[in-house]
Chain A
């Protein structure tokens, strides 16, 4: 038998094979160059080429493999959006719109902050983990969960964990999600507080975004009902006005001192805001803010991409710094495992599994769209992380560490900071630090931990090179701060509200009226409870002399990776029950890596003998100080000392809970896998049976 291939077709295939080989070679070459270059600064172009060509090859081949061989996505199969079409939740939507919607939902401050913090190891660990992690881990997780949920009428991750693995895993997942929300909101709150501390310009600009959102809400409800785009356009113009208003206030000495707030005051204001967002009607604050944030998000991501492409800044940070040994000032812990905990969003983010099993599966028009939306949108998010890394590494290491190291490491003057940084082997003069602060319109940039200010300085550098020159640095800096804070506050307010609903849902088992979601006392009580939960961690971060980020960001990373563990366990279980056990490696490989990383990082945070790293060791250190009647540096009173000791134990308990949750979910999943593989249990999943598309022609 002979196969007939037309000459034209075989030429096309040859060209395609050649083309893809070139893309793969370009990616491998750029990665190799980045890995081997030492000494001089390298251009960001290498990083972009490495990332984009890896994404292209992975999307073209790996996601196609998952779509065709693993899930066998079939456009003849009717999607829940069509079958259950109700014009509200289930709405068949064009794939590009779902892509935009999904991307806007998954992209938050995480991929901006994580890579910025991880830059203390140098650019190489971050870029490798972002690129490799996303193509083998994060994008796979998002796509697998999206496919699984789409075939189950858009069921949530928690429901799937319960039905596919078992009730123990399901309940653990539910409690874990609540725990993650609390830690996430606290750490994001801390990032905002640190960005606005002693900055009247930033405080006024961000503060004004709240009345702007409310004005938009009122406009859309009473003045011109439903005119979302009109209101958003007005809102965007007002955001620019608020940027200039902030500058004006900062220039009036008297007003400026009124709005120069301490970390503690700002923390209380952020808590008040979270409470208000949870209690007020959604149309008044949450929804308009969310629309505004979606536009700003997509706009700034595009602008940043263009800015980086035009400016192609050289990376000043070395490939690897001496801090890979764990002595870094930004956060404690060695390259392994802490680079993989610090960068979660951008490589693999368990949180995405909640989105991929939330709104998105109810919108898919065709099954095959899950490839572009699940895998593709995550690649785009990863690219945002690469851009954040570029912006952070475009700063000189001296400036980077001056902004990101805590007061305990730098001291409180530019002179002491320059000395400390020189001891780490980097050069920056006090005059340079003063000049930079002045250029961006701040009194000081020292120890502005949390990642937002240094990213904003990096972005201001890049944007001002393209537009406006160094005279525009201050405006660009505050624009970037506004953009980051807008991101963060939309996660914080929506998260608080969701947390309130979850709390009410759990609490109704104890006291039924607590679960009534429209009963004012229950709303107020549950909102106060959730704010108190994250507020406690936020407060602890604000008074922590080590900067708070040091303890809270790793906790957030561990919790996020825990959620990814849940998602990958659910994914693996579903693959095995689909009879695709031989392909289960696609989720088992990232799962194994995440379990190793979370367990080592969690164990280090718990049991490390170094007080900077281990919560328990830190508690012991503080207790010995307490016993001898002295106060450690940066601690102002005996009461603060006692509170810090209690917080260490609380952090240890939370880390311990996350580790235990990983073990429970993994153990429960392995039990289920073995039972199915051995044949002791029928491979029955809850997938909705195949239904031919033609059957519901029409809608």
Chain B
């Protein structure tokens, strides 16, 4: 059913937007970046990427305010 497919894509898109707004690690775009800009290098695993992204987010002022 084309309508449902479209709806599903919409929902998925909103999901991507929400993840970015709350600042969740975005592995897909990291992977896309590595493949496009640094072909041949081995990207981090999803788990390593997530750990690294989170650690970096909370180790300096500027992630959270009063």
Contact = CB atoms under 8 A, between A and B. Distances in A.
Contacts of A91: 26, 29, 33
Contacts of A502: 60-61
B66 A498 contact: no
Contacts of B25: 226
Nearest to B52: A88
Nearest to A220: B50
A85 B33 CA distance: 8
B63 A294 contact: no
Given A88-B56, A156-B60, A226-B50, A101 B21 contact: yes
14 contacts: A87-B33, A89-B56, A225-B47, A282-B58, A287-B58, A290-B22, A349-B66, A351-B65, A355-B65, A358-B61, A358-B63, A494-B58, A498-B60, A699-B37
Contact of B66 (A89, A104, A110, A358): A110
A345 B61 CA distance: 17
A613 B37 CA distance: 60
A253 to B, nearest CB: 38
Contact of B22 (A107, A228, A358): A228
A290 B64 contact: yes
Nearest to A492: B64
A371 interface: no
Contacts of B10: none
B29 A494 contact: no
Nearest to B37: A699
Interface string A165-204: 0000000000001000100100010000000000000000
B37 A85 contact: yes
A100 interface: yes
Given A101-B20, A358-B60, 4 more contacts: A87-B32, A110-B65, A226-B50, A286-B58
Nearest to A154: B62
B8 interface: no
B65 A352 contact: yes
Given A106-B65, A177-B61, A358-B63, A97 B30 contact: no
Contacts of B18: 229
Interface string B24-61: 11110111111011000000001101111111111111
Interface of A: 85-89, 91, 93, 97, 100-101, 104-110, 156, 177, 181, 184, 188, 221, 225-226, 228-229, 232, 282-283, 286-287, 290-291, 294-295, 298, 344-345, 349, 351-352, 354-355, 357-359, 490-491, 494-495, 497-498, 501-502, 517, 556, 560, 698-699
B19 A225 contact: no
B65 A491 contact: yes
Contacts of A225: 46-47, 50
Interface of B: 15, 17-27, 29-34, 36-37, 46-47, 49-66
B65 A354 contact: yes
A498 B61 contact: yes
A86 B33 CA distance: 7
B62 A287 contact: no
Minimum-distance CB pairs A-B, first 3: A358-B62, A87-B33, A100-B21
Given A358-B61, A699-B36, A291 B24 contact: yes
B32 A490 contact: no
Contact of B29 (A87, A344, A354): A87
B59 to A, nearest CB: 5
A86 B56 CA distance: 14
Contacts of B54: 282-283, 286-287
A294 B60 contact: no
A560 B23 CA distance: 25
Given A291-B22, A295-B22, A355 B62 contact: yes
A359 B50 contact: no
Contacts of B37: 85, 87, 699
B23 A294 contact: yes
B42 to A, nearest CB: 14
A490 B66 CA distance: 10
A354 B33 contact: no
Given A108-B65, A188-B66, A294 B21 contact: yes
A698 B18 CA distance: 25
Contacts of B34: 87
A355 to B, nearest CB: 5
A261 to B, nearest CB: 25
Contact of A501 (B15, B30, B60): B60
A97 B25 CA distance: 14
Nearest to B18: A229
A304 B28 CA distance: 35
Interface-centre pick from A86, A87, A91, A358 (highest chain B CB count, 10 A): A87
Contacts of A498: 58-61, 63-64
A556 to B, nearest CB: 8
A566 B34 CA distance: 38
Contacts of A294: 21-23
Given A101-B23, A225-B47, A354 B61 contact: yes
Contacts of A177: 61
Contact of A359 (B21, B32, B63): B63
B22 A560 contact: no
Given A97-B17, A228-B24, A105 B51 contact: no
Contacts of B46: 225-226
A698 B55 CA distance: 29
Contacts of A108: 64-66
